[in-house]
Amino acid sequence: MVKKSKLFSLLLILPLATLILSGCGKSASELAGERAAEKSIENQLGGQADVDINNGNIKVESEQGNIETGDSVKLPDDFPSDVYVIDGKIIVATSNQAEKSFMLSIDATTGLEEAYSVYQEKFKAAGWQLTGTMNFGDSASVVAEKDKRAASIYLSRNGDKTNVVVGVAEN
């Protein structure tokens, strides 16, 4: 549990590092920034970390897992194919191979109510059992289980967009 909280605490560091280091090419200052970020992360995690800053993205790979944030984040290659990913811009993607867990934060142009309905339909169609749904107007959630996995979707209205946080983990 400590490793997971340390890994996710990096989510707080990465946006700040993005602001500081964005706009730089692979210059000496960017390489120095990568090395400084690696040292800081390694100190927090107690292990090796590789930081890559490229085209407005920051990607951190460590023994505990991977985190990517920025302007053009891609879906992790090993993200479960039976979990629907709404169309939109992925802002943050994390994966932890040891704990078989994933988290995505997506800015979607789909309205909250539509996204809420679509996630329920997509889970059912993929063989997931819905175990909880809530709609509070400006936010909503969908929780489902399948095999030994749990998935949770948290949706919140953000202006004309919907922020969608997708979490998947083994129970």
Tens-digit pLDDT profile for residues 2-22: 444 444 444 444 444 444 444
Indicate the SS3 state at residue 132: strand
Model's pTM, two decimal places?
0.74
Q: Which ranges constitute the DSSP H helices of the chain?
A: 2-21, 28-45, 112-125
Phi, psi torsion values for 110, nearest 5 degrees: -65, 140
User: In whole angstroms, what is the distance from residue 135 CA to residue 120 CA?
Assistant: 12
Residue spans in the chain of domains classed CATH 3.30.310: 73-171
73-171 to CATH, choices 1.10.287, 3.40.50, 3.10.450, 3.30.310: 3.30.310
d(CA 148, CA 54): 36
Mean pLDDT calculated for residue range 69-78: 88
